[in-house]
Each structure stands twice: as C-alpha cells, then as structure tokens.
Amino acid sequence: MKLSGDLIEVSVIGGYLGAGKTTLVNHILREASERVAVMVNDFGEINIDESLIDSSDENTISLTNGCICCSLVDGFATALESVVSFRPRPTRLVIEASGVADPGTIAAHGHGPGFALDAVIVVADAVRLIEQIADPLVGQTVAGQIRAADVIVLNKIDLCDTLTSVNAELSELNPKALLIYTSEAKADLDLLFGREILRTVSSAGHVGTFESRTHESTQPILRENLEALIKNLPSDIQRVKGIIRLAEAPRIPMVFQLVGRSWDLRALADREKSPEGNRLVVIGPKGSIPIAWDNFLR
Amino acid sequence: MSDAKVTIFTGKKIITMNPAVPVAQAIAVQGDRILGVGTVGDLAQWGDYELDEQFKDHILMPGFVEAHSHVMAGAVWEFPYVGFYDRPDPLGHTWLGCQTIAAVVDRLAECERELKDPDQTLVAWGLDPIFLEGERLVAKHLDQISVTRPIFVFHASGHLATVNSAMMRRSGIDRYTPTPGVAKDFDGEPNGELQEPAAMSLAQDGFSAIGVAMMSSNAKWNYAREARNCGVTTIADLGTTRLTMEGQLEAWREATDDANYPARVVVAVGHFDSNSIVSLAVRLRDEEETPKLRFGIVKLVLDGSIQGFTARISWPHYVNPPPGHPGNGLWLIPPEQLADIVSGYHEAGLTVHCHCNGDEATQVFIDAVELALQRHPRWDHRHTVQHSQMTTAAQYKKMAALGINANIFSNHIFHWGDQHAAVTIGEERAARMDACATAEREGVVFSVHSDAPITPMSQLHTAWSAVNRLTASGRVLGPEERISVAKALEACTLGAAHQLKLDHDIGSLEAGKLADFAVLEEDPFEVSPAELKNIAVWGTVVGGTPHVASSK
C-alpha cells in the first residue's frame, strides 16, 4: 500500500557477506511493481538484464520499469537527499547495508522528513548461519544483524539439510521476526514490503500465498482499541501496517508497523502531507484473515 | 651543480637524525634542497653563498612528519571551540578551555554577537560533558544565548550534538519526532541532545558544517598553519579528503602550489571514496604529484575506537563495557574480505594504511597482508598498521617479518590512558598498549601520531607521550614501554617518512634531501624528557623557505 502522498517507504536490507542481499536486490529490481530506488554498497554486483536497463552511468542504473539503482558511495545523507529529488518520485527506498553493518543503525535514518521506515530485512544464509554465529571473528556481527531484523529472509533453504537446527537458532536469537523462506532470495515482495495484495499468484519461488484486507476510517482511534486489535490478531498474521490517528493526538499521523510478533507506532516526520483518517492493511496467508479482523477499531 | 643561489643557515645546533653525521653547525640550501651539512667552512667548498644567521640561537631538526592526521584539523577552526582543555588555533590564538556550563554559554554568547546574519546557524565544537560538573548541558542552556538563532554544538566524541530550541524548531524536532537518538525528557519533550548521525542529521546545516568546511581552501591552509606552529613540515591527510569530489584535487593543488603554503601534504585516498579506488590512487601517484603534494597511499578503516568500545579486541575483550554492549567491537570491513581488498591495492603497487585499534583487527590485517604477499610477492611495500594501539609482541615480530610498519597512537596514553586501565582493557593490557618499546625491540619501523583533530597536532607532544607515558592523572602507565628521546624523535621524522615512502626526500638533514626543518627554541636532547612537549617552536623551513609560527 502507499502510506501517503509523497512519502517514501524505507526498507533496509542487512545480512552477512554471501547471504544473498545482492541477489534479493536484483530480484526486487526485476519484480518491482512500484517505483523503487535501491541504494547498494557493491554497485559492481548489480546484475540486471540488458533489456531492462534504460540508461546507466558510473553510479546509477535506470531501469525501464521505473526503478533506479544507485551506489551508496556518497553516504546515507547524500543518498536520501538524492532519492527525494528523483522525478518521478520513488515510492520506496531500499538500502542495502554492508555485510558487517548493523542494519538497525542504518534504519534510524529511515524516519527523516519525507520518509517512513517500513522494516529491517535481514538475509541469512541457511547453509552457513550456524557456522557463522559460532565464528569468533564474525559471530557477534551476524547474531547482531539477526537480532535487528523485523523480517528474516532465510535464503538457500534448497541447499540446507539442517533446517531444524537453523530454525531453532533463529527463534532463539529473534523469536519475534517474520520469517520468510527462500531459495535464490526470491521473496514475495508483497509480504516483504507489506503491500496490499491485489491479485494472488502462486509461483514456484514462493512458499504459500498471501492475501490482504484493508481498514479505512475517519475517527481517531483509542490506544486501547489498537492494543486490543493487536492482541487478538490470529497468530498467522505477521504483517499489518498503515497510518492512523490516535485519539490522544488526532493531529499527528502515526505510522503503525506490525512485523512478525513485534509492533511499533511512531509519529510521521512529515505531518503536512499526510491524508486524514486511518488506513491499515493486514496481510496473511490465504484464509487466515477473519472478515472482521478490524472489529476493535470500529 | 647549478648556478642557483646558495644559502647557508647557521644554528646553535643542527640535529640531523643522520647517524653518520648526527650534529652540525650549518646547513647549505640550494633551491628547495640541502646542498650539505657541516660547518660553514666545510660548506664553503660549494662556492659562493649567502650566510643566513636568523637561526643562530635556535635548534634545527628535520621537520617533523605527522603521518596520521586529518584536514578536519584545519576545518574545525572555522567554528568556536568549547572544549575543556586550552587549545591553540592555527592563527596563534589560544582558546581557553570552558570548564563549566556557564563558561560554554559565555563563549557562545560572545560568538553569537559577532554573527551578522540573524539566520546563520552558530556551530561550535569540542564539548566534552564528562568533564563538566553538575547537570548536563541541554537546549535550555543554549536558549540563554539566543531563542531565534539556531545553535549546534558538536561534542568532542563526534557521536553527539546539543542544539537549542531555535534549531529544533527549524529542523521540525518535537516530542513526536520519530528518529531514534533524539533524546527526550521524562515528560517526552526533546532536550536538545541528538545522539548518533541519524538524529544529528535532522539538524542538517549544523551537522554538515564541518564536512562542508573541510572542502574549503581555508581549511587546507589552516591545516598547514597548525603543522607549522608545531614544527611539522609534512602532514598526511589520511583518508579524509574525498578526492573524487569535483574540485578537491584542484583545491589541494592550488593551496600547495602557493610558495607561502607552509607544509607538504600526503593525501591518502579513502577505501570507501569510490568504486574504483585502485585506478584513482595509481593515477594520482603517477600523474598528479608535485613537490608539496604527494599520493600513493590508500587508507582502510577496519574497526572502531577503544574508548568507544567499538575496537575489535581479542579475548578477554573489554573489562568494564557499558550495559548492553555486545562484548566486542565493530568491523567496518568484513574480515574475510580484507585479503582481497588489500591484494588489489598491493598488486597495483600502492601502500595500504589500515586503521586497527584493537589487536584482533591488527591480526586480521597482518593475515591479509601475508596472503597478499603469497599471491603477489613484493618487497618493501611498507603497508602500515595505523593506531596499532594493542598490537602484541608476537604481532610486531610477525609485522617485522612481513615488512609491515606501525604508526602508534602514543597520545592515547595521556588523553585516555586512565580510562583504558580502569574501564576499557584493564591494567595489564593498558600497560602494554601503544607499545613503542616492543615495536623497537622487534624491529618494526614505526612512527607516533596525534590523529589531529582527535588530539591536538604536535609531534613534540606525541614524542613526549611515548617517552614518558604519563596519563592525564599523572601516573606512568606501563613504564617498560617507554622509549628514549632519540628513538621518539626518530619515529617522528625518519620513521614517519619511511611509511609515507618519502624517506629518500625527508626525515633527516643530509645532502640531497629536501630542506625541511623544524626550528626549535630548545634542544630536545638537553631538556629533561618530561619537558619535551613544552619546547617552544619558532616555526619551520619548508623547501628552504622559513615559515614563522603564528604565535611569534
């Protein structure tokens, strides 16, 4: 879904070297159904079909589907500035963190004026994760990245024969994150980005199919009603997002994010351009969303 | 020999740092080079000369070489200083330390009155709240200075800033601001403290001010003036200048081409500067060098800082880290990627200077260099461990075997030594940190540095720190790692010149080398070692041209 007018949603992609971050970025650029700007560390690794490239220079590739990919060489502040100036404006910014970065630190930049942080996505290598976490040099780095995730993309599951122990390790490090299983990092982008699902397609790369429902209302919401909604959501539902107004501060648009088992509510930095009222979308496996999922908000 | 004019400078004593001819009374200069050292009588054999006796009461030494500092040392002086300790600026004015919140406010109020444009942000730097007693400085204190002009005060750590209410208003910071790091009171209102870059960057024009100033010509001049004031004739700007940025190479060229520019500068390219550093660094080295502007070095940063608990330290890690600390520090480059990165520069004939504060980082760098050497044998590469604060004896031995140099951050002993013993790495490892004596014993060519502006530039101070190992509280930290005055002065001249691959040109006073001198008021071999840092500096001579210090 689009949160509001000119707002750019920010997804940060972290994960250790070799997990598949760049593969995921390439997948996003290829499959995007919205205008995505991607900021990458390793520009040389971006691998797009020639036929999809509209133009390119040393630090930027423009795609025929409206997406744009840029090098992060000038740092976050400059990258964020340049994204705002792209015309037409992207609706989503995807920042690929370096293999040793704490994606949570980078995500802090995603709340600035004009932006709303969507989620921290961490790609993990199902084959090497346990070995990496035990490594004296990088174990702490890898574990820290997993802990910072809202969404864990567990990649290379087709090559992994120890999935049970990997799952156990992940649920110990971060029991709250939304877990998506992939091979070749082919994650469902609607789920990854928490978008309204307009058509449901089952394809080989996706595990299960998802559907979405949307809530729209005009009256500010009582905090206790929001908390009741969260408490009573079926456990299969791991993605809810939107912009709401709370009764205690109805003039302040609040960004609501529920990913996995944790949720966050923060004011929107840009208060002027946000539409009135409340709009929440819930995404879950097909058949898991009750018709009246938003009873508590009504 | 050409016909150019010969000048013979005399000195009370000339310390050459050339072991073959360690002391002289006179030095002959032709053009920008040394024609010879000796007595006036010896030097007369070169023919007609002009006798210059302006230094007859001074001590001349090879100009000091500061192989790890940053042009930011010149940029910070575009803004008022509000740090705790007294600090001289490049123009010779000593800013007295602000030792109370009231002193900070008074200093800023004075500077505010001098600003003409009412919308211009007042930016200041150097605030160090741990030294200021009583409550913490917050927006309400800065509001006493102005409620209309935005004010932005950088803390000394670089990780925090404090702003006033006008700055918060202009930046849209209020109780609802969602960015983490915007500190809020118990009642939810922001108190003016912005923690870490994401929060600081909300106050954009304040946060970017020093970075913008760094690109200016004035910063480049003030950087060299700061060097001149402490007897430094060659400074390495280690990975700060974005040479890929339009106009930066030209700005350095324009400054250093000026005959009055009082220093030689080695500009090291930062690894993160662009996607094609190898070709950039090679091109700069092969095509863009001038007598006062040198290249050929690439700077890598592998870990964080010890006092920030972000350096990568081997087991048993940190002794008393803050709550919530993950146990060890941060990697800025994936360790298993380092060998490939180093190999790329190594094979191109470049010299890699790698920031390693913790010993685990040092080990990863040593292993990377060893692998690069196995892949591509190369003699005399002079790759250098920068900071080298916790490098062990075994590591120094290995570095000697591989030809790796060290540049040791000796000033840490004075500035943070007490904290290292008590809080970061504990007594035993603090006693052997910044281990100059071990480096010397194991045969590693080394230098010492200030990392200016992190600590004030002065090779007499870094040498003093290596010789005395006195902390701010006055204790001797690790007496076994103290080195002699002679060795410390060698580190600050030939040692640093060697790792910059300039020791054929600078670092000692002998025929054929560049005529770069430090002009001192006292003899560092005659004063007590404890007084080394207090020796007054007249100024420098760079390429035969005298440059008097600003305070003179």
pLDDT in tens, B458-492: 999 999 999 999 999 999 999 999 999 999 999 99
Q: What is the CATH number of the domain that holds A31?
A: 3.40.50.300
pLDDT tens readout for residues B28-66: 999 999 999 999 999 999 999 999 999 999 999 999 999
State the best of A17, A46, A73, A248 to mutate against chain B, taking most chain B CBs within 10 Å.
A73
Tokens of B66: 């500061």
pLDDT of residue B329 exceeding 80, the answer is yes
- Give the span between the Cα atoms of B420 and A178, in whole angstroms: 41
**Contact residues, chain A, for B273 at CB < 8 Å:** 73
Is residue A125 a part of any domain in this protein? Answer: yes
CB pairs under 8 A between A and B: 80
- pLDDT at position A41 is 79
Give Cα separations from A176 to A15, B162, B274 (angstroms).
Answer: 17, 35, 38
Nearest of B491, B492, B499 to residue B518 by alpha carbon:
B492
Residues forming a β-bridge with A280: A215, A242
Mutant choice from A105, A135, A147, A264 vs B, greatest count of B C-beta within 10 A: A105
Q: In a 10 Å sphere around its CB, with 0-12 CB exposed, 13-18 middle and 19+ buried, how is residue A52 labelled? A: middle
How many Cβ atoms are within 10 Å of A202's Cβ, its own excluded?
Answer: 10
pLDDT of residue B486: 98
| Least confident among A58-62, A190-194, B430-434 | A58-62
- Do residue A127 and residue A55 come from a single domain? yes
Mutate: best of A59, A109, A257, partner B, most B CBs <10 A: A109
CB contact under 8 A, B178 and A16: no
Phi, psi values for residue A237, rounded to 5°: -85, 115
Whether a cis peptide bond, with omega within 30° of 0, leads into B90 is: no
Are A108 and B179 in contact (CB < 8 Å)? yes
Residue A100 placed within a domain: yes
Q: Which residues contact B74 (CB under 8 A, 6 or more apart)?
A: B90, B214, B218, B219, B220, B221, B222, B223, B224, B225, B226
Contact A129, A96 (CB under 8 A): no
Residue A81 lies in a domain: yes
| Chain A touched by B178 (CB under 8 Å) | yes
Per the listing, tokens 């002079």 go with: B382
CATH number at residue A218: 3.30.1220.10
CB contact under 8 A, A105 and B334: no
Q: Given this model, what pLDDT does residue A281 score?
A: 92
Sign of the torsion formed by the C-alpha atoms of A18, A23, A25 and A26: positive
Count: domains in chain A: 2
Residues A118-137 pLDDT 10s: 999 999 999 999 999 999 99
Specify whether A130 is located in the same domain as A163. yes
End-to-end Cα, chain B, rounded Å = 36
- A30 and A114 in contact (C-beta within 8 Å)? no
Q: Residue A216 belongs to what domain range? A: 210-297
Give the dihedral sign, CA A135/A138/A144/A148: negative
Provide the greatest CA pair distance for chain B: 82
Q: pLDDT confidence of A202, banded at 50, 70, 90?
A: very low
Dist CA B65 CA B236 (whole Å): 8
Do A171 and A287 lie in a common domain? Answer: no
Higher pLDDT, B143 or A43: B143
Domain end: A162, A193, A224, which one? A193
**pLDDT at residue B1 is higher than 60:** no
Q: How confident is the model at residue A203 (pLDDT cuts 50, 70, 90)?
A: very low
Band (pLDDT 50/70/90 cuts) for residue A204 is very low
Point out the least confidently predicted range of A196-200, B141-145, B308-312. Answer: A196-200
Of the candidates B472, B189, B506, the one whose C-alpha atom is nearest the C-alpha of residue B307 is B472
Residue with tokens 């890598």: B300
Amino acid present at B48: D
- A189 & A255 share domain: no
Compute the C-alpha angle B86/B89/B91, nearest 5°. 140
Least confident range of A13-17, A30-34, A55-59, A157-161 = A55-59
B189 reaches A (C-beta below 8 A): no
**Residue A203 belongs to some domain of the structure:** no
Q: Is the pLDDT of residue B362 over 90?
A: yes
What is the pLDDT at residue A205? 42
Q: Which of B524, B526, B500 is nearest to B514 (CA)?
A: B500
**Closest residue, chain A, to B361 (C-alpha):** A137
**Residue A162, pLDDT above cutoff 80:** yes
- A215 and A158 share a domain? no
| A239 and A147 together in one domain | no
ipTM > 0.85, yes or no: yes
Lowest mean pLDDT among B131-140, B386-395, B437-446, B448-457: B131-140
- Report yes or no: B359 and B349 within 8 Å, Cβ to Cβ: no
How far is it, in rounded angstroms, from Cα A263 to Cα B388?
44
Q: What's the confidence (pLDDT) of residue B33?
A: 98
Q: Is B177 on the interface with A (CB under 8 A)?
A: yes
Q: 3-state DSSP helix/strand/coil percent for chain A, to nearest 5?
A: 30, 30, 40
Assigned domain for A200 exists: no
Provide the b/e sequence for B225-250 (b: ≥16 CB within 10 Å). Answer: bbbbbbbbbbbbbbbbbbbbeeebbe
Q: What is the dihedral of CA A164, A166, A172, A173, to 10 degrees?
A: -160
What pLDDT digit, counting tens, does each position of B233-262 carry?
999 999 999 898 889 999 999 999 999 999
User: CA of A97: how far to CAs of A39, A240, B332, B340, in Å?
Assistant: 9, 24, 11, 20
Among A77-91, B99-113, B174-188, B416-430, the range scoring the smallest mean pLDDT is: A77-91
Of A122, A209, A125, give the one whose Cα is nearest residue A163.
Answer: A125
The partner residues of A154 in beta bridges, in order of sequence, read: A124, A181
**Sign of the alpha-carbon torsion through B255, B257, B259, B264:** positive
What is the rounded distance in angstroms from the CA atom of residue A191 to the CA atom of residue B552? 69
- Please state, in angstroms and rounded to a whole number, the distance separating the CA atoms of residues A63 and B140: 50
Per-residue model confidence as pLDDT tens digits over B259-303: 999 999 999 999 986 667 899 999 999 999 999 999 999 999 999
Of A138, A166, A193, the last residue of a domain is A193
Look at residue A202 and tell me if it is in a domain: no
Radius of gyration of chain A (CA): 19
Range with lowest mean pLDDT among A152-161, A289-298, B328-337, B501-510: A289-298
| Same-domain pairing of A149 and A264 | no
Are residues A147 and A270 both part of a single domain?
no
CA B348 to chain centre: 26
A73:B274 CB<8 A: yes
Average pLDDT over residues A280-290: 90
3-class SS of residue B192 = strand
Same domain, A15 and A154: yes
List chain B residues with CB under 8 Å of A120: none
Q: Would the pLDDT of B126 be above 60?
A: yes
pLDDT band at A4 (very low <50, low <70, confident <90, very high): low
Same domain, A183 and A230: no
Q: Which of B508, B534, B537 is nearest to B34 (CA)?
A: B508
For residue A259, the number of C-alpha atoms closer than 13 Å in the C-beta half-sphere is 28
Share of chain B above pLDDT 90, in %: 93
Whether the predicted pLDDT of B407 surpasses 50: yes
Which residues on chain A place their C-beta less than 8 Å from a C-beta of chain B? 16-17, 43-44, 58-59, 71, 73, 76-77, 98-100, 102, 105, 108-109, 111-113, 117, 136-138, 140-141, 144, 249, 252, 255, 266-269, 271
Name the nearest CA neighbour of A250 among A269, A226, A267: A267
Do A51 and A118 belong together in one domain? yes
Of B176, B204, B275, the CB nearest to A73: B275
Domain annotation covers residue A25: yes
Q: Does residue A65 belong to any structural domain of this protein? A: yes
The domains of chain B, with CATH numbers, are: 72-211 (3.10.310.70), 297-500 (3.20.20.140)
Residues 6+ apart with CB under 8 A from A122: A13, A14, A15, A103, A145, A146, A148, A149, A151, A152, A153, A177
**What integer is the mean pLDDT of B120-136?**
90
Of A136, A165, A193, the last residue of a domain is: A193
Mean pLDDT along residues B317-326: 94
Positive or negative torsion for Cα B125, B129, B131, B136? positive
Model pLDDT for residues B99-124, shown as the tens digit of each residue: 999 999 999 999 999 999 999 999 99
List pLDDT tens digits, range B206-234. 999 999 999 999 999 999 999 999 999 99
Q: Is A95 in a helix, a strand, or coil?
A: strand
Contact B263, B293 (CB under 8 A): no
- Same domain, yes or no, for A17 and A117? yes
